[in-house]
A and B are shown apart, each in its own frame.
Chain A
Amino acid sequence: MNSNPEVNDPFAGERLKESHFHPRQALLNLRDAWSSWNGYKFADYYYDEEYEYFCVRNSCATYDICPMQKYIVSGPDAEAMLDRMVTRDLTKLKENRVTYVCWCTDEGRLIDDGTIFRLEADRFLLTCGSPSLAWLRKSAFGFDELQITDMSDTIAALSLQGPTSCEVLKKMGLVGIENLKPFCIAHFPFAGSEGTPLMASRTGFTGDLGYELWISPDLALAFWDALYAAGENYGIQPYGEAATNMARLEAGFIMPGMEFNEALKTIHFQYDQTPFELSLDWLVDFKKPHFNGRKALLKARDQGAEYTLIKLDIEGNKPAEESFLYSDQDCSKEIGYVTSAMWSPVVKANIALAMVETAALKGSIWAEIYYSKELRHHSKVAKCTIQEKPFWAPERARATPPAAF
């Protein structure tokens, strides 16, 4: 393996890109457990996924969001263009605030979800998991005073999550960070550079106290070093995809490719989802006179969603991954399927997200779970209970200032 571009490498085109934090992260990735995300080499885990998960829940840990897609939309038409694209009312989003949004096709099918940061009155940062430039361009067609810049490779970003995260940032010198409220943005000086090159937002994908930190790539490693120096006595540790997936499931967050199929990548008619099916009703603001998919979504809302995404607490301890769900213990009537499932180490529960026929929500739900013991395959039928609240929602995630860990 050779990551030096100056050495002639015939396979250069095959190799994954490296994140701005790669030199530090590679040192810590003892297991060489790499996968990929949007063309970047990306850690599944660094040392042990459960250890990393507990760092998120117990101390703090960093997650590399460099591969996340980041677009700056700016100009006098920026607000109008984004407001028409997403289902929420963006005109209400104040400067230095962040909001979680989703956007749909004309037919009201979910394309993707993401967050929008209002950096200035007519300057927005949109972040999302999958490339969205083509749709952004389509959405921007007809808006003349507007610029879309793909910043995915030119902003370095790191998510710092966990109970000690605020303390670590304080220690690092982010004065007043404890007063930053959820979904708010603040700017900080860093390393003697001019101005306030470090942006912090109180956002994350773990359902816990946490921040996302944004900085220019040339300061990325210095930032990493400063953060890890500050966090040394607070249990700081990088975490990968596996631990993230655990944390987000406990928080009840959805993932493309798990809970929903991005509409523009769906081959089969209606194998994609509406926001209602994903229980994202609260994201769809019909008080807005117009947004993309409004008509279709009104119709979908009035007709009622065929499926509904729910949170399940499942008896026993066998994760119900890829299980079918039934309305009876004999498994005679299929009513849905599990989209994500795991044993939750922190709440000690067997939890899952599942798509269930809306009509069957009132009845009982049974999961047929397959598991294996020493190569022998078994199945069991387990009773499921619907949970209304996220499995993990600690007070500190919302409190400002957050209580000391």
Chain B
Amino acid sequence: MKKYDAIIVGAGHNGLTNAAYLAKAGLDVLVVEKNEYIGGAAVTREMHDGWFYSSCSYVCSMMRQTIHRDLNLTKHGLVLVPYLGTVVFADNGDTMTSYHSEEAEYNQLRRRSPHDADAMFRFQTDLGRYAQLIRKTLLRTPPDPTSFRPRDIRELLWLAKEFWSLGEKELYEYIRFFTMSAADFLDDYFEDDLLKAAMASPGVIGTALGVYSPGSAYILLHHVMGDVDGNVGAWGLARGGMGAISNAIAGALQEQGGEIRTNAGVDKIVVKNGRATGVVLDNGDELQANIVVSNMDAKRTFTQCMDKNDLPPGIYEKAKNFKIRGSSGKVNIALSSLPKFNNVADNRYINRGGQGFVGSMETMERAYDCWKHGRWSEDPFIESVIPSAWDPTVAPPGQHWMSNFVQYCPSQLADGPWTPEKRDAFGQTVINKIERYSPGFKDLIVHMEVRTPHDIEAEVGLTEGNIFQGELTIDQLLFNRPFPGYAQYRMPIKNMYMCGSSTHPGGGVSSACGANAAREILIDLKRPNTVPKDDFYDE
């Protein structure tokens, strides 16, 4: 029976990235995937004739350009197109466009509040300062602060030095920023509520926190620290949908001789004598490997795909307590034409893409309150994008598809399990809200599909449908991700690793987790490192 050097469980973008770097180092790797398609949450699927949905993940901001270049993903078909502004909608129908040009943006903010127009400069500067520091840590393995190994101490000192170089005041501001709520953070800059709501919205996307909850300021940063072509905070669309990213990485992997097997769900990770030795598939086949790398989330890996008795004491409990909460839903809609929105100019350069149905700070927070009560809000926060406005490949000419990310949607409802009826009702809530701002919207709908956290879990395998594979709160960041003592991609079982977003630096289509894990694995195997340093920033 063939024995692989490494089996990677899950063909999401991090699993594929991990496999590609291992294959590049000459390892014989196999990626097993439960679905018949690869990509995990970064997929493009034809869900309706001629319409290709990025069913789950829909934009890309954090993809490490170092990896893009290093794996030659462009050659494998990946083109990332930066998209311009978004329009946000207030409860009262007021709209605000985020303009591409700094001058236009300034003039618009000035019309709303001269104070805020000025404050925006400081806000952007401060956010830039926070982001550049975090960004440097993305392609590095977090140090273990409890360890005395020279490498950990070196990394800790490096981190300390980076923080120190902020200067006294900014260092304190930084610490503050990590623990505060998006609302408190924004109150320090702005007075206009719609502007605050627009700025706060990234702080709650994918997370079980409200804009008034301490900790949401950091998540705001997590979403804006990405960049496309050096434009910090810019978001990009993958031409052909998010699946193009996964396919390109898979292309790079296959070019290196790596193997991918779909329709191969893993039932158990096999542990013998305290070492991971392979996997048993759902169909009963056993595959052997020297190492096993799980790209599944930490909770699923340890509580569902491993035998509790194989684990050292305490790990099962840690995994069970790992915070991975379903808080978002997704509604994909095929449209017969581009929708028109009230109070939005027909500006071809920017208004065709992003829509943020934020309402107000309070509306967003109240949506979170509903989630706490185990129901979805009748007035949810929806972040939409119409990729077909830029991408000619995802819908028939003249027709469009709209991705609607809905915050918040509970994975478990207070009134019992999700049913198809409830799912439809949830979908109706979403299109009702859009219809409020775009009369006639419903008539444009050709096809739609609704995904609750429950559906995302069933389809992609993410526990509770959490898009980050685990909450991005400070207790689960950096050396705490996924658990203290296991943040360096090595798991408590010998020859077993994790490479998914449950590890540092966390969620987002960044490929960083997969690449970092590959570097650690290659160190253990005493192979030359194939993972590039993040040399994109020379600050």
When distances are taken between beta carbons in the complex, the residues of chain B under 8 Å from A36 are: 103
Pairs of residues from A and B, 6 with the lowest C-beta to C-beta distance, nearest first: A131-B118, A39-B107, A269-B167, A134-B119, A10-B345, A134-B118
Tally A-B pairs: CB < 8 A. Answer: 75
When distances are taken between beta carbons in the complex, the residues of chain B under 8 Å from A133 are: 114-115, 117-118
When distances are taken between beta carbons in the complex, the residues of chain B under 8 Å from A150 are: 114
| B349 at interface, CB cutoff 8 A | yes
When distances are taken between beta carbons in the complex, the residues of chain B under 8 Å from A152 are: 114
Partner of B107, one of A10, A17, A266, A268: A17
Q: Are A134 and B104 in contact (CB under 8 A)?
A: no
Q: Are B132 and A134 in contact (CB under 8 A)?
A: no
Interface of B is mostly: helix
When distances are taken between beta carbons in the complex, the residues of chain A under 8 Å from B110 are: 39
B166 → A minimal CB distance (Å): 6
| B391 at interface, CB cutoff 8 A | no
Q: Report the separation of the CA atoms of residues A135 and B125 in the bound assembly, to the nearest whole angstrom.
A: 14
Residue contacts A-B, CB under 8 angstroms, 12 given: A10-B348, A11-B345, A11-B349, A14-B99, A14-B101, A16-B104, A16-B107, A39-B103, A131-B118, A133-B115, A133-B117, A266-B125
| A347 at interface, CB cutoff 8 A | no
**Chain B, range 104-142, C-beta contacts under 8 Å to A:** 104, 106-108, 110, 114-119, 121-122, 125, 128-129, 132
| B466 at interface, CB cutoff 8 A | no
| A267 at interface, CB cutoff 8 A | yes
| B347 at interface, CB cutoff 8 A | yes
Partner of A267, one of B99, B116, B129: B129
Q: Report the separation of the CA atoms of residues A251 and B91 in the bound assembly, to the nearest whole angstrom.
A: 53
Knowing A17-B107, A107-B169 are in contact, say whether A264-B121 is a contact too (CB < 8 A). yes
Q: Report the separation of the CA atoms of residues A150 and B125 in the bound assembly, to the nearest whole angstrom.
A: 23
**Chain A, range 260-276, C-beta contacts under 8 Å to B:** 264-270
Q: Report the separation of the CA atoms of residues A16 and B129 in the bound assembly, to the nearest whole angstrom.
A: 29
- In the complex, besides A131-B117, A150-B114, 12 extra interface pairs with C-beta distance below 8 angstroms are A10-B346, A10-B348, A11-B347, A36-B103, A38-B106, A132-B118, A133-B117, A137-B115, A265-B125, A267-B125, A268-B129, A268-B539
Q: Are A39 and B106 in contact (CB under 8 A)?
A: yes
Chain B minimum-CB-distance residue to A269: B167
What does the 1/0 interface line of A101-115 toward B look like (CB < 8 Å)? Answer: 000001100000000
Q: Most chain-A Cβ atoms within 10 A of its Cβ — which of B101, B107, B121, B125? A: B107
| A94 at interface, CB cutoff 8 A | no
B104 → A minimal CB distance (Å): 5
Q: Report the separation of the CA atoms of residues A93 and B102 in the bound assembly, to the nearest whole angstrom.
A: 37
Q: Report the separation of the CA atoms of residues A15 and B106 in the bound assembly, to the nearest whole angstrom.
A: 11
When distances are taken between beta carbons in the complex, the residues of chain B under 8 Å from A30 are: none
Partner of B167, one of A11, A265, A270: A270
Q: Report the separation of the CA atoms of residues A357 and B122 in the bound assembly, to the nearest whole angstrom.
A: 28
Q: Report the separation of the CA atoms of residues A180 and B348 in the bound assembly, to the nearest whole angstrom.
A: 53
A382 → B minimal CB distance (Å): 29
A228 → B minimal CB distance (Å): 28
| B97 at interface, CB cutoff 8 A | yes
Knowing A133-B115, A133-B118, A150-B114 are in contact, say whether A14-B167 is a contact too (CB < 8 A). no
| A298 at interface, CB cutoff 8 A | no
Q: Report the separation of the CA atoms of residues A264 and B99 in the bound assembly, to the nearest whole angstrom.
A: 22
Knowing A38-B106, A39-B103, A269-B170 are in contact, say whether A13-B347 is a contact too (CB < 8 A). yes
Number of chain A residues close to chain B: CB under 8 A:
30
| B165 at interface, CB cutoff 8 A | yes
B156 → A minimal CB distance (Å): 20
Chain A minimum-CB-distance residue to B97: A13
Q: Are A12 and B122 in contact (CB under 8 A)?
A: no
Q: Report the separation of the CA atoms of residues A39 and B101 in the bound assembly, to the nearest whole angstrom.
A: 10
When distances are taken between beta carbons in the complex, the residues of chain A under 8 Å from B99 are: 13-14
A183 → B minimal CB distance (Å): 27
Interface of A is mostly: loop
B459 → A minimal CB distance (Å): 40
Chain A minimum-CB-distance residue to B129: A267
When distances are taken between beta carbons in the complex, the residues of chain B under 8 Å from A38 are: 106
When distances are taken between beta carbons in the complex, the residues of chain B under 8 Å from A134 are: 115-116, 118-119, 122, 189
Q: Report the separation of the CA atoms of residues A107 and B115 in the bound assembly, to the nearest whole angstrom.
A: 23
Q: Most chain-B Cβ atoms within 10 A of its Cβ — which of A264, A266, A269? A: A269
Chain A residues engaging chain B, CB cutoff 8 angstroms: 9-17, 36, 38-39, 106-107, 130-135, 137, 150, 152, 264-270
Q: Report the separation of the CA atoms of residues A133 and B117 in the bound assembly, to the nearest whole angstrom.
A: 9
When distances are taken between beta carbons in the complex, the residues of chain B under 8 Å from A130 are: 121
Q: Report the separation of the CA atoms of residues A9 and B104 in the bound assembly, to the nearest whole angstrom.
A: 14
Chain A minimum-CB-distance residue to B171: A269
A161 → B minimal CB distance (Å): 26
A367 → B minimal CB distance (Å): 24
Q: Most chain-B Cβ atoms within 10 A of its Cβ — which of A9, A36, A135, A266? A: A36
Chain A minimum-CB-distance residue to B125: A265
A318 → B minimal CB distance (Å): 28
Partner of A269, one of B103, B125, B166: B166
When distances are taken between beta carbons in the complex, the residues of chain B under 8 Å from A265 are: 121-122, 125
Q: Report the separation of the CA atoms of residues A17 and B97 in the bound assembly, to the nearest whole angstrom.
A: 17
When distances are taken between beta carbons in the complex, the residues of chain A under 8 Å from B103 are: 16, 36, 39
What does the 1/0 interface line of B282-298 toward A look like (CB < 8 Å)? Answer: 00000000000000000
A12 → B minimal CB distance (Å): 7
When distances are taken between beta carbons in the complex, the residues of chain A under 8 Å from B107 are: 13, 16-17, 39
When distances are taken between beta carbons in the complex, the residues of chain A under 8 Å from B125 are: 264-267
A168 → B minimal CB distance (Å): 32
**Chain B, range 130-174, C-beta contacts under 8 Å to A:** 132, 165-167, 169-170
Chain A minimum-CB-distance residue to B351: A10
A215 → B minimal CB distance (Å): 21
Q: Report the separation of the CA atoms of residues A130 and B122 in the bound assembly, to the nearest whole angstrom.
A: 12
When distances are taken between beta carbons in the complex, the residues of chain A under 8 Å from B167 are: 107, 269-270
Partner of B121, one of A9, A131, A137, A270: A131
**Chain B, range 296-347, C-beta contacts under 8 Å to A:** 345-347
When distances are taken between beta carbons in the complex, the residues of chain B under 8 Å from A266 are: 125
Q: Report the separation of the CA atoms of residues A152 and B117 in the bound assembly, to the nearest whole angstrom.
A: 13
When distances are taken between beta carbons in the complex, the residues of chain A under 8 Å from B170 are: 269
When distances are taken between beta carbons in the complex, the residues of chain A under 8 Å from B104 are: 13-16, 39
Q: Report the separation of the CA atoms of residues A132 and B118 in the bound assembly, to the nearest whole angstrom.
A: 6
Chain A minimum-CB-distance residue to B113: A133
Q: Report the separation of the CA atoms of residues A134 and B170 in the bound assembly, to the nearest whole angstrom.
A: 19
Chain A minimum-CB-distance residue to B232: A267
B171 → A minimal CB distance (Å): 9
Q: Most chain-B Cβ atoms within 10 A of its Cβ — which of A15, A39, A107? A: A39
Partner of B345, one of A13, A39, A132: A13
Q: Report the separation of the CA atoms of residues A327 and B107 in the bound assembly, to the nearest whole angstrom.
A: 46
Q: Report the separation of the CA atoms of residues A135 and B539 in the bound assembly, to the nearest whole angstrom.
A: 28
**Chain B, range 237-265, C-beta contacts under 8 Å to A:** none
Q: Report the separation of the CA atoms of residues A269 and B162 in the bound assembly, to the nearest whole angstrom.
A: 11
B383 → A minimal CB distance (Å): 21
**Chain B, range 61-115, C-beta contacts under 8 Å to A:** 97, 99, 101, 103-104, 106-108, 110, 114-115
When distances are taken between beta carbons in the complex, the residues of chain B under 8 Å from A11 are: 345, 347, 349
When distances are taken between beta carbons in the complex, the residues of chain B under 8 Å from A264 are: 121-122, 125
Chain B minimum-CB-distance residue to A262: B121
Q: Report the separation of the CA atoms of residues A36 and B104 in the bound assembly, to the nearest whole angstrom.
A: 10
Q: Are B345 and A131 in contact (CB under 8 A)?
A: no
B253 → A minimal CB distance (Å): 37
Q: Are A14 and B117 in contact (CB under 8 A)?
A: no
Q: Report the separation of the CA atoms of residues A266 and B118 in the bound assembly, to the nearest whole angstrom.
A: 14
What does the 1/0 interface line of B163-199 toward A look like (CB < 8 Å)? Answer: 0011101100000000000000000010000000000
Chain B minimum-CB-distance residue to A36: B103
Q: Most chain-B Cβ atoms within 10 A of its Cβ — which of A13, A15, A16? A: A13
Chain B minimum-CB-distance residue to A137: B115
Q: Report the separation of the CA atoms of residues A15 and B346 in the bound assembly, to the nearest whole angstrom.
A: 14
Q: Most chain-A Cβ atoms within 10 A of its Cβ — which of B122, B170, B348? A: B122
Chain A minimum-CB-distance residue to B350: A14
Q: Report the separation of the CA atoms of residues A152 and B115 in the bound assembly, to the nearest whole angstrom.
A: 12
Q: Report the separation of the CA atoms of residues A131 and B110 in the bound assembly, to the nearest whole angstrom.
A: 10
Chain B minimum-CB-distance residue to A41: B103
